[in-house]
Amino acid sequence: MKELFAFLKRFIRPYRRNLIGSVTYNLLSAVLNVFSFALLIPILRILFKISTETYEYVPFAQAQGMEDFFHVLKNNFFYKITDFINLYGEAKTLLILGLVLIVMTFFKTACYFGSSAVMVPMRNGVVRDIRIQIYDKVLSLPMGFFSKERKGDIITRMSGDVSEIENSITQSLDMLIKNPILILVYLGTLVAISWQLTIFTLVIGPVIIWVMGSIGRKLKANSLVVQSYWSETMSELEETLGGLRVIKAFLAEDKMSKRFASSSESLRKAANRVNMRQALAHPVSEFMGTALIVVVLWYGGTLILNSAHSPIDGPTFIYYLTILYSVINPIKDFSKAGYAIPKGLASLERVDKILLAENNIKDPENPVEISALTKEIKYEGVSFSYEDDREVLHDINLTIPRGKTIALVGQSGSGKSTLVDLLPRFYDVKEGSITIDGQDIRNISLKSLRGLMGNVNQEAILFNDTFYNNITFGVKDATREQVIAAAKIANAHDFIMETENGYDTNIGDRGCLLSGGQRQRISIARAILKNPPILILDEATSALDTESERLVQEALERLMKDRTTVAIAHRLSTIKNADEICVLHEGKIVERGTHEELIALNGYYKRLNDMQQL
């Protein structure tokens, strides 16, 4: 229950008006329902000619206390009915009562509809808000978070878990608001009709409610297991789609199929347990509700049959049973919400692993804004390790003067990419500092820090959109002329114009309609359009064929002109002209200098160069 209130506080607050409207409509619906059913008493008395009493009008001002008020209300109601019978006869009075019942039922059902209608925008709004919050949180979380989480699991939490919250919690909110109101109004009516019968009902009622509630106690734990298996299957599907080429090349279709079938079978068994428990809820509540009616019917019947001074007469007892049956449905719906909400809370718990994840890469309280690099970038005593305490970089000291090109080389795992990722604060240093013009980057706003930099990666990251929108990605107010100029510098204009719609041609998912070299030149055009003072190249030509490499290298050389560049290189031929080359080995800079100086040292760089000459 505490978790549910926390959910309501976090996500329902913007929809307070909807809640107030729902409470108002439900209260009106309950009151109209009580008074419409109250018409059964005079209708039964007229039909079966039970009543021979005479009534006199009593002013309401004479009522003392709530019980006396209800007694006066009942007396005056029957006085009015008797007066109608005397004026119009029994048949016309019966017709008038029937018409009044129809009118009251119309307003009751209208209020019932209104209570549901005002909840629809709130339910859908809450789901929208959760999805947006998850998406925004995913955008803001540091890269380290995603190294521990699988993409398929994150997608599942945003789709399957949010849908479960929608189906379980938000659709149960209507029941959570409506049913307590109905239960309180109906119980108050039962007490007003006969407090003796109501005490008897309340003695046996909690036992029945406890039996119904016991079914849903394990639903949350079981639902967590189901969602975990669902995430597993989605992660395997995502891995399969991303690795189809390797799966087919290694004839691993059977292995992957068995793996997915195993996960799906585990999901089926867990889902069976949850669904069976849910399916049991309605039959049990139906049976227990009928049992309650029968017990009260027996007890009330014995009071009427065996006592000349029974606290309740036949027509009133039928009205009592009608209201009692009316209160059973809200209790059953309340119990249904009790079964559904734990499933939603289990999904909310999984969603909160994203929403409440700590983001340690954020702006300081008073961030510094910078718009240009005027002097240098400096790494001073920088060390870095991931959360498993595996040290990746150790005591790095490096100065990158403005306008110079610094190349990083070394074997895989030597720390080249990590060294570059620290500059835009994808990760934060563990020891030491990185400064731009003497200002620690941790004191600079992330927006202005990353605004100084342009990236061209080994894998060109493009989006399922047009050439134009991919080149202008992240750049505001770019003109078409500027886009075309950037594409020409990147050697991309010619092949773009050969497509059906030119710059308005869609390039497919991740640029799948383009070759590797074409994708890379589009990403270079994007960096050229951004016109950053600092350029980061992460093995931008290593995956290309010779012809594509030549075109891309030409584009890169134009891009690097008069810029401060940090280049990670796999092919040493692409960085021979760098102002300084740093050789990394096991997280340390072991050699540095120009190409010729490093060859003369006859060390790590010389061995790398010789291996590429073979």
Residue 213 contacts residue 126 (beta carbons within 8 Å): no
333 within a domain of the structure (yes/no): yes
Tens of pLDDT, residues 430-459:
899 999 998 999 999 988 898 888 888 777
Separation of alpha carbons 559 and 573, rounded Å = 18
Partners of residue 406 on adjacent β-strands: 566, 580
Query: Which tokens is 228 given?
Result: 């975990």
24 within a domain of the structure (yes/no): yes
Query: Exposed e or buried b for every residue in 70-107, given b needs 16+ CB within 10 A?
Result: bebebbbbbeebbebbeeeeeeebbeebeeebeebeee
For residue 386, give its domain range. 376-613
Report residue 528 CA to chain centroid gap.
36
Please indicate, yes or no, whether residues 421 and 350 belong to a single structural domain of this protein: no
325 within a domain of the structure (yes/no): yes
Please give the pLDDT value at position 282.
65
Positions of E strands within 6-128 = none
Separation of alpha carbons 314 and 303, rounded Å = 10
Separation of alpha carbons 62 and 192, rounded Å = 18
Please indicate, yes or no, whether residues 170 and 58 belong to a single structural domain of this protein: yes
195 within a domain of the structure (yes/no): yes
Please indicate, yes or no, whether residues 43 and 175 belong to a single structural domain of this protein: yes
CATH code, 278: 1.20.1560.10
Query: Which tokens is 604 given?
Result: 């790590």
Query: Which tokens is 522 given?
Result: 């589009």
Separation of alpha carbons 535 and 562, rounded Å = 10
Separation of alpha carbons 493 and 291, rounded Å = 80
CB contact set of 364 (below 8 Å; sequence gap of 6+)? 442, 443
Please give the pLDDT value at position 53.
60
CATH code, 452: 3.40.50.300
Crossing angle of helices 171-193 and 195-214, rounded to 10°: 150
Which residue is it, tokens 């849908």? 163
Please give the pLDDT value at position 245.
66
Residue 55: closest CA among 35, 73, 88, 80? 80
360 within a domain of the structure (yes/no): no
272 within a domain of the structure (yes/no): yes
Residue 168 contacts residue 341 (beta carbons within 8 Å): yes
Ordered DSSP codes for 384-428: EE-TT--EEEEEEEEEEETT-EEEEE-STTSSHHHHHHTTTTSS-
Please indicate, yes or no, whether residues 580 and 609 belong to a single structural domain of this protein: yes
Separation of alpha carbons 613 and 488, rounded Å = 33
Q: Is 137 exposed, middle or buried (0-12, 13-18, 19+ CB in 10 A)?
A: middle
Look at the chain and report how many structural domains it folds into. 2
Residue 22 contacts residue 177 (beta carbons within 8 Å): yes
Crossing angle of helices 119-140 and 65-117, rounded to 10°: 60
Please indicate, yes or no, whether residues 553 and 414 belong to a single structural domain of this protein: yes
Please indicate, yes or no, whether residues 163 and 246 belong to a single structural domain of this protein: yes
Separation of alpha carbons 334 and 329, rounded Å = 8
Residue 550 contacts residue 389 (beta carbons within 8 Å): no
Please indicate, yes or no, whether residues 215 and 290 belong to a single structural domain of this protein: yes
Please indicate, yes or no, whether residues 320 and 424 belong to a single structural domain of this protein: no
Please indicate, yes or no, whether residues 181 and 271 belong to a single structural domain of this protein: yes
Separation of alpha carbons 221 and 392, rounded Å = 39
CB contact set of 198 (below 8 Å; sequence gap of 6+)? 187, 190, 191
What Rg value do the Cα atoms of the chain yield, rounded?
A: 37
Q: Global pTM?
A: 0.70
Please indicate, yes or no, whether residues 342 and 484 belong to a single structural domain of this protein: no
Please indicate, yes or no, whether residues 387 and 311 belong to a single structural domain of this protein: no
Query: Which tokens is 157 given?
Result: 């939490």
Please indicate, yes or no, whether residues 214 and 262 belong to a single structural domain of this protein: yes
Separation of alpha carbons 304 and 320, rounded Å = 13
3-state percent breakdown (helix, strand, coil) of the chain, nearest 5: 65, 10, 25
Please give the pLDDT value at position 259.
84
Please give the pLDDT value at position 508.
84
Residue 119 contacts residue 22 (beta carbons within 8 Å): yes
367 within a domain of the structure (yes/no): no
Mean pLDDT per 10-residue interval, the chain, length 614 residues: 71 85 89 80 67 65 66 71 76 81 88 87 85 85 75 77 77 77 85 80 70 57 70 77 72 83 85 75 72 79 69 75 79 69 78 83 86 90 82 90 90 86 89 91 90 82 87 85 87 88 87 83 85 82 64 75 84 82 90 90 86 69
368 within a domain of the structure (yes/no): no
Please give the pLDDT value at position 211.
62
